[in-house]
Homo-oligomer: A and B are copies of this chain.
Amino acid sequence: MTPPRSADQDLVRKVNKSLVLNTLRLHAPISRAAIAKLTGLNRSTVTHIVNALLDENLVLEQPVPSFAVGRPSIALVLNPLGGAIIGVEIGVDFVSVVAADFVAQPIWQSTQVISPLSPQADILAQAEAVIDQAICAAQDRGQHVIGIGVGLPGLVNVNLGELVYAPNLGWRSLPLEQRWSQRFQLPIYMDNEANLAALGEYYFGQAHKVENFIYLNSGIGLGGGVVIAGKLFRGGHGFAGEIGHVQRDPQGEWCGCGRRGCWETQVGPRAMLRRLQKSLADTPTDLLPPGFPADLSQLTFEMIVNAADTGDPACLAALQEVAYHLGAGIADLVNVFNPDMVIIGGLLSLARHLMLPEIEKTVREQSLAPSVSQTKITFSERGKDACIFGAVAIVLDDILREAAIS
């Protein structure tokens, strides 16, 4: 902000710029006039903005032979070299880093296995080393790095840029933004996994153009990302979306959070494993479902799905039960949020073909009348990548629109 403008007008300008960039991202190659038509802005305005963007090198003029009826126009496209974005996901047992160009195409990627038992400092140092490599990779291609997006498995205070509590890592009060913005001299954007995955779906996935939706992320626990009016909803203090710990059965199993019958205990993959392990504990090895290891502690969710695919009744029943509870919980969410779409991601998406009918049926039956019919329920199509592309998206988001409500 070279001349100190009012916040109001500056905001309008930024929104307009974001609008143009976003339209460009979605419809390139495109003419100035077409942008104006799509954004609703005036063409003169668009011309101004595009000229500024050309100066900033974020946009390229690309001669396209006969790209439309009319003047032999020079179409505009986003300049892939206009900037690079680093997406980072710190999981419970891995660190994944991707460098993407300005059109969100990955140009470098690396995943490192870590031990959750290692000291925090070691894990961070390892992550930083990988990020350094990613930055170098981007700079070798001549791309200026715009920012770093970080996905974290826990409660994140977005305003302070602090990881408040990550139960599965045992981390508390880690001022990551401060640390990394000093270390890398770049803007750091961070949020929890589920929020980022939701944002990823909004930008690059199924929730494209869907302004109100809920993303359910089933990993170790059950996280939720809520998008309202096209923006991540974080609540008054940034901790909204803890959908997994809604109590759904006061007589249910104990949950790590101290309550009984959290939704997470009914439908989380881990909770499901635990249940199946217990119920199969007394079964002789040779009667176990096909593909199951003798040592049940080695059981994975994938094995259950495979066994169910081959028709094993116990596994099928277990998945049906999860589907029912999932549907019932989603029905509540539909009652409360009335979203346009619910996306189920993470581990559970492995069983999409087995669970979707039951989920849909339950939701239709259990939510109040008029809202349901317009709510679409789907599974995410990108597995592990959802979060890390969300990390890329959150950086883009800052450029393409204001990110969060409140």
A239 / chain B contacts, CB cutoff of 8 Å? 338, 368, 370-371
Min distance, Cβ A30 to any Cβ of chain B, angstroms: 19
A258 / chain B contacts, CB cutoff of 8 Å? 365-366
* Distance A145 CA – B280 CA, assembled complex (angstroms): 72
Min distance, Cβ A175 to any Cβ of chain B, angstroms: 14
A23 contacts partner chain B, Cβ-Cβ < 8 Å: no
A328 contacts partner chain B, Cβ-Cβ < 8 Å: yes
Residue of B8, B235, B338 near A40 (CB, 8 A) is: B8
A405 contacts partner chain B, Cβ-Cβ < 8 Å: yes
A212 contacts partner chain B, Cβ-Cβ < 8 Å: yes
Number of copies: 2
Inter-subunit contact A336/B228 (CB<8 Å): no
Inter-subunit contact B165/A336 (CB<8 Å): no
A405 / chain B contacts, CB cutoff of 8 Å? 228-229, 405
A237 / chain B contacts, CB cutoff of 8 Å? 338, 340, 370-371, 374
A406 contacts partner chain B, Cβ-Cβ < 8 Å: yes
* Distance A332 CA – B336 CA, assembled complex (angstroms): 12
Nearest chain B residue, comparing its CB with the CB of A370: B164
Inter-subunit contact B212/A236 (CB<8 Å): yes
| CB-defined A-B contacts under 8 Å, sample of 25 | A8-B12, A12-B12, A155-B369, A165-B370, A211-B406, A212-B236, A228-B228, A229-B406, A234-B338, A235-B337, A235-B338, A236-B339, A239-B368, A239-B370, A239-B371, A246-B246, A246-B332, A246-B336, A247-B332, A248-B250, A249-B250, A249-B251, A257-B368, A258-B365, A336-B336
| Beyond known contacts A212-B236, A236-B338, A237-B340: 19 more, CB 8 A cutoff | A6-B40, A8-B41, A157-B370, A165-B370, A228-B233, A234-B338, A236-B339, A239-B368, A239-B370, A240-B338, A242-B338, A242-B368, A243-B336, A246-B335, A248-B248, A249-B249, A250-B328, A258-B366, A336-B336
Residue of B8, B16, B235, B374 near A339 (CB, 8 A) is: B235
A241 contacts partner chain B, Cβ-Cβ < 8 Å: yes
Inter-subunit contact B242/A336 (CB<8 Å): yes
A245 contacts partner chain B, Cβ-Cβ < 8 Å: yes
